[in-house]
């Protein structure tokens, strides 16, 4: 049986390079453009791509309710997990900490303007806040200015206008309370409205119970109905507050601003470890505007007690930021198209009724509404 005749390695070495060269890949066949079909213009292509990227509808406001509460690893009060803040309403099984408020998600430009203001204040006030906080008891040594605008991971957070103090409901009260509140607010006939930040609206307020100071933006109605009393700067919020107080008081819980003859009232805050001031902080510079002048949005906090120098420096920084940003904060508008009620870790929407009986925000039946 004969052996297979393999070619030697020498034969390979003398093989022409052309024999090992791969044939060139064939070019894809393209047909000639049809002169009868006009090609799309670059501007049309660009506008189409931009339209596609921005045509997605915005998320419904109820989507934010799903992630309104962070996970709590412990039920016990551990201030070390919350920057030294203490829970004033102790955790009791069967009790549900609750709160009624208006939620505001600042637009990106507004969020950046507020963030820039807080960054400037953190730099300008650092030494003053440390001096003002000297001698505080252990656990309250964090005198820096802490922002409410972003989470620990840098994600934007919603801001709040309180319509109640934090209060407690029993398990058997939850459903009836939600239903009663929804019916009461719907019966008011308050249509969606806008709020604005008045000139000089930045102020420091002090919470006596929690020993915290809050940097807040006062809010007022952007448009006041013709013929309305001049002193009613927040007629819609005042109407909503009265209804919320009525429903809360029926459960034996304290009202918000109930003892306020001017400003935000004394000692009305019941604060938890959440980033909510409860709305009842005592004003350091009470303007005497009654309940109408009490509504505000908290944007930062500190354990230090504000001094006259801190307030003066804060006003100067605010004026400088407004000049640089051409009145960005005073031009802000806060749309109020509903009220939120938080019971435990469940947040529900109570939409305001638009003209003609239509409920704003469409169907918000995520949690029974």
Q: Which residues are catalytic?
A: 160, 296
Helices (H), the chain: 9-13, 17-20, 42-54, 108-132, 174-186, 235-250, 308-324
* Distance in angstroms (rounded) separating the CA atoms of residues 217 and 314: 12
238 DSSP assignment: H
Q: How many CB atoms lie within 10 A of CB 292?
A: 18
Q: Could you identify the residue written with the tokens 């020498």?
A: 10
Widest CA span in the chain: 119
Give the SS3 label for residue 202. strand
Q: Are 164 and 279 in contact (CB under 8 A)?
A: yes
Give the residues across from 301 on adjacent strands. 146, 214
For residues 287 and 205, what is the distance between their CA atoms, to the nearest angstrom?
Answer: 12
């Amino acid at each position: 049986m004969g052996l297979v005749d393999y070619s030697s390695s020498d034969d390979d070495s003398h093989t022409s390079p052309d024999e090992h060269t791969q044939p060139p890949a064939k070019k894809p066949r393209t047909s000639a453009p049809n002169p009868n079909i006009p090609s799309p213009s670059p501007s049309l292509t660009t506008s189409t791509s931009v339209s596609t990227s921005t045509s997605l509808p915005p998320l419904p406001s109820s989507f934010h309710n799903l992630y309104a509460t962070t996970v709590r690893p412990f039920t016990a009060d551990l201030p070390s997990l919350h920057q030294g803040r203490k829970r004033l309403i102790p955790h009791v099984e069967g009790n549900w900490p609750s709160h009624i408020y208006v939620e505001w998600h600042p637009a990106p430009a507004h969020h950046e303007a507020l963030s820039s203001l807080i960054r400037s204040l953190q730099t300008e006030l650092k030494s003053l806040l440390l001096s003002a906080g000297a001698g505080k008891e252990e656990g309250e040594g964090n005198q820096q200015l802490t922002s409410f605008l972003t989470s620990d991971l840098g994600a934007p957070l919603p801001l709040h206008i309180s319509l109640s103090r934090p209060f407690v409901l029993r398990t058997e009260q939850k459903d009836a309370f939600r239903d009663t509140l929804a019916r009461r607010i719907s019966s008011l006939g308050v249509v969606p409205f806008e709020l604005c930040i008045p000139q000089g609206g930045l102020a420091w307020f002090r919470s006596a119970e929690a020993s915290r100071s809050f940097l807040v933006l006062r809010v007022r109605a952007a448009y006041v109905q013709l013929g309305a009393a001049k002193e009613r700067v927040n007629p819609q919020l005042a109407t909503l507050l009265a209804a919320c107080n009525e429903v809360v008081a029926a459960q034996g819980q304290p009202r918000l601003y109930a003892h306020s003859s001017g400003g935000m009232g004394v000692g009305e805050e019941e604060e938890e470890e959440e980033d909510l001031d409860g709305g009842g902080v005592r004003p350091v510079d009470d303007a005497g505007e009654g309940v109408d002048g009490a509504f505000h949005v908290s944007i930062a906090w500190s354990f230090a007690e504000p001094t006259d120098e801190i307030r003066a420096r804060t006003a100067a920084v605010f004026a400088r930021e407004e000049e640089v940003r051409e009145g960005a904060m005073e031009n802000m508008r806060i749309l109020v198209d509903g009220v939120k009620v938080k019971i435990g870790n469940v947040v529900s929407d109570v939409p305001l009724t638009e003209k003609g009986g239509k409920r704003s925000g469409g169907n918000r039946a995520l949690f029974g509404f």
